[in-house]
Amino acid sequence: MERRDFLKKTALMSGAFMIPTFLKPLEALAQNNLTGYKNLVIIQLSGGNDGLNTIIPFGNDIYYQKRKTIAINQPDIIKLNDMQGLNPNLSALKEIYDQGWMSIINSVGYPNPDRSHFRSMDIWQTASDSNQFLTTGWIGRYLDANCQNCKTPYMALEVDDTLSLAVKGEKLKGIAVQDPNKLYQITREPFFKDLVHEHGDTNLNEDNLGYLYKTMIETYSSAEYIQKTSQTYNVTGMYPSTPFGNQLKTVSKFINSGLQTRVYYVSLSGFDTHVGQQNQQGRQLKIYGDAVAAFVKDLKQTDKLDDTLIMTFSEFGRRVEQNASNGTDHGTANNVLLFGGKLKNAGIYNNAPDLTQLDHGDLKYEIDFREIYATLLDKWLNVDNSLVLNKNFSGLNFV
């Protein structure tokens, strides 16, 4: 290798380590070949949110017997029917529920559940069996199945600085960007820009160096498209001044500006409540509820709610009985919350969790989470769920 080439490649590899992590997994942009015009927003509550203190089965005495100090008092609960109600910190969602824009699916899980944060999150993000280890996410495989002929495919966007496994396919990946202006500015730095222009017309090999050049070139064009397109719309809805509120505000900006993205992914952490659960979970639920309510109202105001479906999940629920530290330990089944303007079964979709038939102190799941994914794929994103989930699921009837 000539000295000049060696220095250039060394500089590239050194520079790669200085590029923020959200630039490394980016795969690019598809402006055509899109299926449908509906938006799917996935919200991940990381840490294992306690579903029983989120959608509270106050009508079952066992709930209060098992949770003598952390149960939510009945007068404080926002009652939805004779059995279940909202945590008071989710008061902002009551109006959304009353409008028919919210659906609650109880007892969602999977066979042979795993209580590890990392493993259970992998299962949810890859849609695998509990004994199956996949390296691609279900949204990533949706990209693979739905956009095989795209030269620069981009249909999934994560509002964060790193890309989750859920959004990584075998051939295609989503793009992670927290701030479109910052992403654009970084890709216009002299070092980055010079490399892109120098190799933009080159046939690149599929080795590590070629992949890095390819990623940088695609990132360069993606950043420009996202930045310029999102600048065409200013959000008018009122959002809480929280990082999570800002994430959903950014998604609103992307949707309303006409960004050609079908799936958005956002996360909120802080739900691992082993100690002092009421205060910790209460704070996080308020952050979540206030931001989601603002987001739904914003989309309704801009006539985008009918074309948007929002799904909230957590990697597992918590055990039914509280622990000695006024918290709860890792459990199994949980609730999934859905929001949108075209819900067929708004309200509470199925029965409250059965607290009389437990599996060693844990809730038994009644609905496999992949039935929800299958519904989103078949009925919302218009792609055969078996192409993504590696087996066929019948799906549900919420849309």
Give the pLDDT mean for 315-335.
98
Which comes out higher in pLDDT, residue 343 or 32? Answer: 343
Non-local CB neighbours of 380 within 8 Å, separated by 6+ positions = 36, 38, 40, 309, 399
pLDDT at 227: 87
User: Per-residue pLDDT for 325 more than 70?
Assistant: yes
pLDDT at 88: 98
Q: What percent of the chain has pLDDT over 90?
A: 70
> What is the per-residue pLDDT across 157-166, written as a single tens digit (0 to 9) for each?
999 988 999 9
pLDDT at 1: 45
pLDDT at 193: 62
User: Per-residue pLDDT for 25 more than 70?
Assistant: no
Residue range 3-389 forms a domain whose CATH class is alpha beta
> What is the per-residue pLDDT across 292-313, written as a single tens digit (0 to 9) for each?
999 999 999 999 999 999 999 9
- Phi, psi (deg, nearest 5) at residue 308: -125, 135
User: Per-residue pLDDT for 213 more than 80?
Assistant: no
pLDDT at 17: 37
Which comes out higher in pLDDT, residue 17 or 307? Answer: 307
The burial class, CB within 10 Å (0-12 / 13-18 / 19+), for 112 is exposed
User: Per-residue pLDDT for 20 more than 80?
Assistant: no
Q: What is the mean pLDDT of the chain?
A: 87
Which comes out higher in pLDDT, residue 220 or 265? Answer: 265
> What is the per-residue pLDDT across 66-116, written as a single tens digit (0 to 9) for each?
999 999 999 999 999 999 999 999 999 999 999 999 999 999 999 999 999
> What is the per-residue pLDDT across 344-384, written as a single tens digit (0 to 9) for each?
999 999 999 999 999 999 999 999 999 999 999 999 999 99
pLDDT at 23: 40
Give the pLDDT mean for 117-122.
98
pLDDT at 372: 98
User: Per-residue pLDDT for 245 more than 90?
Assistant: yes
pTM over 0.75: yes
pLDDT at 226: 86
Domain boundaries, the chain: 3-389
